[in-house]
Amino acid sequence: MLKTAATIKSALFCLIMLAHSPLFASDTDALYQQHCAACHNAKRLGGMGPALLPGNLKRLRKKAAIDVISNGRVATQMPGFAEKLSSDEIASLVEYIYSPADEEIVWDLAEINASHIRHNDEASLSDKPVFAVDDLLNLFLVVELGDHHVTLLDGDRLEPIHRFKSRFALHGGPKYSNDGRFVYFASRDGWISKYDIYNLKLIAEIRAGINTRNLAVSHDDRYVMVANYLPHTLVLLDAADLKPIKIFDVKNDAGKTSRISAVYTAPPRDSFIAALKDIPEVWEINYSDQPPVGFGQWMHDYNPESGEEPLVQEFPLRRIPADDYLDDFFFDQEYVSIIGASREGKGQVVDLDVGRVIVPDLALPGMPHLGSGITWQYQGRTVLATPNLRSGRVSVIDMETWETVKHIETLGPGFFMRSHENTPYAWVDVFFGPNRDAMHVIDKRSLEIVKTLRPVPGKTAAHIEFTRDGKYALLSIWDPDGAVIVYDAATLEEVKRLPMNKPSGKYNVYNKITRSAGTSH
């Protein structure tokens, strides 16, 4: 009897110990596959969410990682798991993601080249569209995240023309060629696609990275630059067929590598400008056939008095020191200054001509989704306005003095802000919180909210884009059973609804290729 009681006691003890012991590696792997793999990839290489490998988590302390897994991450699709997982399970997941991958991840020229797909030969396709519209520059593309499709819309009739499948999880603005015939998409897992809108056909695809931020197309339509989180590279592609030309390993003098926050084209400079996430630097890569002599070299080691010949390089790189990391940035309309912000909400202005920070402490409370900043004329001066992902306010900043003109209080943090040269209004969403179904309309002349729309109560209303003439504003209802809702931009009355599957960004060809001050560039 005693022996039986002792056996039961020891079995119970073992069970209790087991319940409190760290999970077995196989349990954690199963947990990861069940809860994380769909967005972060089964091998932690990233997809909809970022890669979860030690090299990609350098700026996130383990304590903060526990908080993100428990409570989610503001301004992303990352939900909180505190209700589903125990604290031991969350702790074991954190250990798991900070441990090195089983296999080394290499995504170099050989792997990139091997992924290349040539779908159609551009030369054999017609340069006339296979559909009839009045204005080819008033076309829109709508990215539907719900089932990973893209819809081509006629901006005059406001009707869909065609719908095609995209790669999984497109993110960031697609970029058009100058004539609006071709468009380049980037997916979060590194696929770059070139699509011929006139022929409704893919031209080529290539996987330029494992985990990609965005892409930029040179203003002369010759090059595509891809910014990656994994590996830590910028990849230059030939815009004709997407074949790789050059890989830039992104690292500082000490050999520390960095993820790239974003890359954009600066047309008057013949350059791509990239912000780095783990090194406080801005990179400028010149793509002209005759880059300025010594471009980039003077930032480091060229002394004009030394008598040495300055360097002339192909695609020369200029590294500009910043005061802090730049998680994203935005240009002035002249492409001289960039206005950047770190995830912690520290804003800074970098002057690209003089190559240094000129305003180290720009007042940007919360983190702006800076691709969404816009500019307009207010009382004779240019102001920039951006929503903030952490606080319910739109910051309006004078671009000459860099002083805050006004913080406009909104019903919650917003993702996207848009306007157009032909409308007195700027539209800003309330993407988070109980008022995520609201869309504010701000009068650009008074900086006051003049109307708050609630197109579908309870469903997120987000991202506006205007028709070429600015007469209509198109709004996304961010839901599988969603819609693009068209508003008269003057009366603010609804005109029509086009059912869509979680439509996110919408991109008007004319507004994009003319780099309208009211839209993202």
Interface residues with ligand DHE (CB under 6 A) are 75-77, 145, 171-173, 213-214, 262, 328, 369, 371, 415, 463, 504-505, 520
Burial category of 424 from C-beta neighbours within 10 Å (exposed 0-12, middle 13-18, buried 19 and up): middle
What is the H or E stretch that residue 32 is in? helix 25-35
Beta-carbon contacts of 226 under 8 Å, excluding residues fewer than 6 positions away, are 186, 190, 192, 208, 209, 212, 214, 215, 234, 235, 236, 237, 263
CA atoms within 13 A on the CB side of 90: 19
C-alpha torsion sign, points 244, 250, 255, 257: negative
Nearer to ligand DHE, 145 or 447 (CB): 145
Nearest approach in angstroms of CB 420 to ligand DHE is 13
Nearest approach in angstroms of CB 213 to ligand DHE is 6
Beta-carbon contacts of 25 under 8 Å, excluding residues fewer than 6 positions away, are 96
Nearer to ligand DHE, 198 or 330 (CB): 330
List the one residue out of 53, 393, 381 whose CA is nearest residue 231: 53
Nearest approach in angstroms of CB 428 to ligand DHE is 13
Give the amino acid at 135. D
Nearer to ligand DHE, 53 or 91 (CB): 53
Nearer to ligand DHE, 291 or 518 (CB): 518
Whole-number Å distance between alpha carbons of 169 and 144:
9
Side by side, which strands form the sheet with 482-488?
Answer: 461-466, 472-477, 482-488, 494-500
Nearer to ligand DHE, 467 or 520 (CB): 520
Nearest approach in angstroms of CB 112 to ligand DHE is 20
The torsion region of residue 426 among left (phi > 0), alpha (psi -120 to 50) and beta comes to beta
Nearest approach in angstroms of CB 111 to ligand DHE is 23
Nearer to ligand DHE, 264 or 402 (CB): 264
Query: Any idea which residue has 């011929």 for tokens?
Result: 196
Nearest approach in angstroms of CB 295 to ligand DHE is 24
Whole-number Å distance between alpha carbons of 225 and 205:
14
Nearest approach in angstroms of CB 457 to ligand DHE is 20
Nearer to ligand DHE, 23 or 225 (CB): 225
